[in-house]
Structure 1
Amino acid sequence: MFRETIHHPGGVTHGHANERHAVSILTRAVRRGYAVEATPSGGALITWTRATFGPTADGTIRADRSISLEPFTPVGAISPTTRADLALIGGDPHAHYAEQDGRRVISGLVWRIPAFTTARLRARSLITEDEAGRVRLTLTARLGLLAQAHRTRTTEPAGWHRPSAATPYGSAGLNRPGRRAGMLHDGGSAALCACGGLAGYGSDRAEARRLTAAHRREVTTRFITEHLAAPLATA
């Protein structure tokens, strides 16, 4: 279950969305070309700009809008061990609840998750059971895994610095006040992602941050298109 917050020109509207409704919102947003980004808590943020007729130079008024979906139970930090357990469950269509020594466990074809770990995954709302009796990952878990696998960062620009011997520009013509004579300025910033799939460079940190945001939105859009297009088996 998610808290749904809609920002529109008339104000803010709050509501709730179950998993099926959340999937519908996300897939519809992607079809319409909106920017969609998974959040580390297991939610998502959708943003777009809507143009309407109005008394402006070009006859339109553009208003930013957004929908945020935040889970009632945030996924929190996902350890490598938990990630491996979730990969087992998500990759086995035969995952189901079984009983061992009077306690509930998750069992697959050739593996079994202990009762304590099973209880912890259920308490964190990372897994659920569908109508066919299969144990699967919740949408919250899948979005959280995606976002945490694509944590991005930008590097601090070098700023004013003295050129090294390897720098071909030397210090010619750099007669600047404020004790900056002979110094070069580098405002560039690298854009990086934990997945290793982003190695961009911006002329300044703001541009690098735009590159990281575009990367996060791209992987979220791809995930929704490839994995959420078909309706879920259960709400």
Structure 2
Amino acid sequence: MYRETIHHATGVTEGTASEGHATMLLTTALRREYAVEFTPAGGALITWTRRLFGTGEGSVVRAERSISLEPEMPVGNLSATTRLDLDLIAGDRHARYAEKDGRRVVTGLTWQIPAFTTARLRARGLVVEDGDRLRLSLTARLGLLAQLHRTRTTEPKGWYRPSAGDPYGAAGLNRPGGRAGMLRDGTSAATCACGALSAWGGDRDEARRLTLAHRREVAAAFIAEHLARVEAPGA
């Protein structure tokens, strides 16, 4: 279950959303080309802009709208071992619950997750039963993706005094405020833990825009590949 918060024209509406409803919201957002970001807790933020016509001739007002989905049970930090267990379950259509020595375990075609770990995965809401098989919950899938795509930007170097051999540090840099003979570097690096993003922004705001675009691209690709096709007719 998710806590759903909608920012709309008349204010804010809060409620709850099931996994199925959350999936519908995400696929609709993709179809309408809204921006989507996943959160490390296993939630999502959907944002879009509406153009409203004002009272003046030809005037247009841009209104920001959003839907926030925050899981009632956040996934928490996913260790490397937990991610391996979740990958096993996600990649095996034979994953299901079984009983061993009177305790519940997760089994696949050629593997088994111990009872203690199985109990932890269930308690954290990371796995759910779907018919006779076991699969990852939507919160686990979104949380996994968000935690694998943690982005960062670096602090710009700012004002610095070039070295004697720096061709850009030649004479003529006459600046007030004690900055005579100094250069300014405002660039900021934008990176992602996945390794797919490694770029430079002209300033930190531009670098943040690069990381934001990357996270939104990742979310859109996931929805298109793993959620939209599930909702397609005949799927």
TM-score range, shorter chain: over 0.9
Question: Which residue in 2 is equivalent to 1:225?
Answer: 224
User: When the two structures are superposed, what TM-score results if normalisation uses the length of structure 1?
Assistant: 0.95
Aligned-pair RMSD on alpha carbons?
Answer: 1.2
1:126-173 Cα distance to aligned partner (Å, 9 max, x none): 000012x11100000000000000000001100000113553212321
Question: Which residue in 2 is equivalent to 1:180?
Answer: 179
Q: Once the 2 structures are TM-superposed, how far is the Cα of residue 179 of structure 1 from its aligned partner? A: 1.9
2:41 is matched by which residue type in structure 1?
S
Unaligned runs of 5+ residues in structure 1 are none
| Rounded Cα–Cα distance in structure 2 between residues aligned with 1:57 and 1:205 | 38
Question: Which residue in 1 is equivalent to 2:87?
Answer: 87
Structure 2 matches for 1:1-235, cutoff 5 A? 1-56=1-56, 58-131=58-131, 133-165=132-164, 167-231=166-230
| Rounded Cα–Cα distance in structure 2 between residues aligned with 1:159 and 1:57 | 45
User: When the two structures are superposed, what TM-score results if normalisation uses the length of structure 2?
Assistant: 0.95
1:46 is matched by which residue type in structure 2?
I
Q: Once the 2 structures are TM-superposed, how far is the Cα of residue 180 of structure 1 from its aligned partner? A: 1.2
| Rounded Cα–Cα distance in structure 2 between residues aligned with 1:176 and 1:116 | 66
> After the TM superposition, which segments of 4 or more aligned residues of structure 1 sit over 3 Å from their partners?
none
Greater relative CO (CA pairs within 8 A, separation 6+): 1
| Rounded Cα–Cα distance in structure 2 between residues aligned with 1:165 and 1:199 | 30
Q: Once the 2 structures are TM-superposed, how far is the Cα of residue 96 of structure 1 from its aligned partner? A: 0.4
| Rounded Cα–Cα distance in structure 2 between residues aligned with 1:18 and 1:47 | 20
Equivalent residues of 1:189, 1:202 under 8 A apart: yes
Unaligned runs of 5+ residues in structure 2 are none
Q: Identity of counterpart residues, as a percentage? A: 69
Partner SS, residue 169 of structure 2: coil
User: Do the aligned partners of residues 57 and 202 (structure 1) sit closer, same or farther apart at CA in structure 2, a change above 3 Å counting?
Assistant: farther
Equivalent residues of 1:171, 1:183 under 8 A apart: no
